[in-house]
Amino acid sequence: MIFNLFNRKIFTLLKVQYSNMLEYRVEIALWAISGIIPFFMLNIWTNNNLNESINISDVMLSRYFLCAFFVRQFSVVWVVFSFEEDSLMGKVSPYLIQPLNPFFRYFAQHLAEQITRFPFALIIAFFFFIFNPESIWIPNLGILLLSIVSTFLSFLIQFLIQSIVACLCFWTEKASSIERMLFIPTLFLSGLLAPVVSFPEYVKSWIYLTPFPYLIDFPANLLSGNETNISRGLSMQIIWIFLLFPLFKKIWIEGTKKYTAMGS
Amino acid sequence: MNLRKYLKVYKKFLYTSLASELEYKTNILIDLITAILSLIGSIFLLSIFFQNNGYIGGWKFEQALIVQGIYTILNGITNTWFNPNLTEIVKHIREGTLDFVLLKPIDSQFFISLKKINPSGFLEIMLGFFLLFFCIKINQINLSLSFLSLSFITISCSICILYSIWFFISTTTIWFVKTWNAIEVLRSFLYIGRFPLNSFSFSLRVFFSIFIPIAFITTIPSEVFLGLSQLWKILLEVIVASVFLITSRKFWLFALKFYSSASS
């Protein structure tokens, strides 16, 4: 019964947010285009034959960066920016009265955006294959499912981290600058700009303990068929989610106690 | 145009926006850390590219650092002036407050381009200059009058081009209120400016010289630093910069004809 009710809520939220997101098709298309940095990086790598030193062929590297692009497309999180705006405008107050954690609303928003984004990402991939026909491949079904799962887990990790940062809005008005700071290590260490295998030893020795390589590098390696440790990757992702979730709950409970309504 | 009046007005702009920005002091500190981390990250990425190669696109690591330094300065300028002001245009147009700007007895482009200032960008500019001085030292560049004036000319041309592109895209919001994300696309393209243009393949090089002149923005000033630049390239940059400035001005005046105020 409770589960059923919960299900209905999620479904309604998703439906509302999806129709909302469809309104902003052009915006989302532009968002998708702005994610093409991995392709520029690929160009630097292959144009200077940098991949020879890390023993990845041109084809495998281009698949890697294409997958990195895909994983990034479906793990983009902006909850802190929405939440900051809502809390500054005083929109959080009505949400708090509802018998549903407002973060479910944002969660549904993100999922709906990903569904809207999917066709645009496919179009970009299509163009990528026109320019690089030799890198076309079809991953087998098991790998495909596993990489969808790991991309979703990566999205969950980022969503939890950003929700924790968003909760800081209860204490300071501008939590988004903290998020911008946290984004820098994510950008450089997650494997979006360079695969983690290419990192120097002194970074590789500790990076696998942090959540960063599991955000993009691991799912992208999995999907593109590059060498990766599947069981370690998935278990690390799950461990990080289990570590972050109680932290989020705690900060949420503390934060709502601190909440002072702003705006109207 | 009355220069003294504009200087006086600008002083007032500076005073008011600094006063409001300094309300968020911790924000400025966090932004400083972000700028430092981001510089460390890009140097880290560059070092990955160079770890097994002496040259990338004909540039040594020490030389590529110059590009990085110039990029950091320009990014700082973007964050100080372009970003806070030109994001405001969207708000002006959406809420119809552009009316008030147009009614003022002052040039509207001047008003919307310089009204606000974000002091944390200053630190990034300083960071860029530190890196440049360091590069001058390790590359053993002789400081002479002609070198200084040429680098001054090219960097100011880069600033003009950058400003024009930003302003151009912001102006299009008069027609398409919601294409603000085009700026995100621009940002991701500008990311290319961190690397010497020669490290990309020929087709991308052509694209980034003709359609979005990122080549002119960072690579030509860096070549001036190394004494590699031919005179025609510098002249070309001056011409491109003036064409961009004039076009963006004309475009703004043209777009204003289509402005129909929003809401009340």
Minimum mean pLDDT range among A216-220, B110-114, B182-186: B182-186
A38-43's contacts with Cβ under 8 Å and 24+ in sequence apart are A38/A65, A38/A66, A38/A68, A38/A69, A38/A72, A38/A192, A38/A193, A39/A65, A39/A66, A39/A69, A39/A128, A40/B191, A40/B192, A40/B200, A40/B204, A41/A65, A41/A192, A41/A193, A41/A194, A43/B200, A43/B201, A43/B204
In chain A, the residue whose alpha carbon lies closest to the alpha carbon of B27 is A177
Residue of B nearest to A184 (CA): B38
Contact call for B52 and A188, based on CB within 8 A: no
Answer positive or negative: Cα dihedral of A104, A109, A113, A115.
Answer: positive
**Cβ pair A172:B51 closer than 8 A:** no
Q: Which residues are CB-neighbours of A250 under 8 A, at least 6 positions away?
A: none
State the pLDDT at residue A262: 65
**Chain B residue with minimum CA distance to A194:** B45
Distance CA A108, CA B132 (A): 46
Percent of chain B topping pLDDT 90:
34
Q: Is the pLDDT of residue B130 over 90?
A: yes
**Which one, of A84, A79, A85, A86, lies nearest residue A104 by Cα?**
A79
Average pLDDT rounded to a whole number, residues A183-204: 91
Range name among A58-62, A119-123, B199-203, B259-263 with the lowest pLDDT average = B259-263
Could you tell me the pLDDT band of residue B179, with boundaries at 50, 70 and 90?
low
What gap in Å lies between CA B193 and CA B137, rounded to an integer? Answer: 22
Mean pLDDT of the A54-64 span = 89
Asked whether residue A204 carries a pLDDT value surpassing 70, the answer given is yes
Distances in Å between the alpha carbon of A260 and those of A87, A88, A92, A104? 9, 10, 10, 21
pLDDT for residue B145:
87
Spell out which residues of chain A touch residue B201, defining contact as CB-CB under 8 Å.
Answer: 43, 46-47
Segment B188-228, tens digit of pLDDT:
888 888 888 888 889 888 888 888 788 778 888 998 888 88
* pLDDT per residue as tens digits for the range B143-158: 888 888 999 999 999 9
Task: State the average pLDDT over residues B11-20.
Answer: 90
Q: What is the pLDDT of residue A3?
A: 67
How do residues A98-123 score in pLDDT, each as one tens digit? 888 889 889 998 999 999 999 999 99
- The predicted pLDDT at position B67 comes to 92
Amino acid A20: pLDDT: 83
Written as one letter, the residue type at A218 is F
Flag the least confident range among A132-136, A207-211, B66-70. A132-136
By percentage, how much of chain B surpasses pLDDT 70?
97
pLDDT in tens, B200-211: 889 888 888 888
Q: pTM of this prediction?
A: 0.89
The pLDDT assigned to A48 comes to 87
Give A3 or B39, the one with higher predicted confidence: B39
Q: Do B47 and A200 touch (CB under 8 A)?
A: yes
Contact B66, A214 (CB under 8 A): no
pLDDT at B264: 47
pLDDT computed for residue A122 by the predictor = 93
Residue A221 has pLDDT above 90, yes or no: yes
Mean pLDDT on A181-188: 92
Nearest by CB to residue A194, choosing from B34, B38, B48, is B48
Measured distance CA(A74)–CA(A151) in Å, rounded = 7
> In degrees, to the nearest 5, what angle opens at C-alpha B37 toward C-alphas A64 and A203?
50
Q: Which of A22, A24, A25, A30 has the highest number of chain B CBs within 10 A, making it the mutation to test binding with B?
A: A30
Q: How confident is the model at residue A206 (pLDDT cuts 50, 70, 90)?
A: very high
Nearest-neighbour CA in chain A from B84: distance (Å): 14
User: Nearest C-alpha of chain A: how many angstroms from B105?
Assistant: 32
Q: Is the pLDDT of residue A264 over 70?
A: no
Residue of B nearest to A43 (CA): B200
Query: Quick check: helix, strand or coil at residue B59?
Result: strand
Residue A1: per-residue pLDDT:
55
| Residue B150, token pair as written in the block | 């040429």
At A152-171, the pLDDT tens digits run: 999 999 999 999 999 988 88
Interface residues of A toward B, Cβ cutoff 8 Å, are: 24, 26-27, 30-31, 33-37, 40, 43-44, 46-50, 52-53, 172-174, 177-178, 180-181, 184-185, 187-188, 193-194, 198-200, 203
Distance from CA of B2 to the nearest CA of A (A): 39
Coil vs helix vs strand at B56: strand
In angstroms, the Cα distances linking B258 to A155, B57, B89, B173, B176 are 42, 46, 15, 11, 11
Closest Cα of chain A to B197: distance in Å? 10
Contact at CB, A181 and B30, closer than 8 angstroms: yes
Angstrom distance (rounded) from CA A46 to CA A61: 8
How far B235 CA sits from the closest chain A CA (Å)? 28
Least reliable range by pLDDT among A62-76, A206-220, B45-59: B45-59
CA distance A88 to A174: 9
Q: Which band of pLDDT confidence, cut at 50, 70 and 90, is reported for residue B89?
A: confident
Q: Using CB atoms, pick whichever of B33, B38, B188 lies closest to residue A36.
A: B188
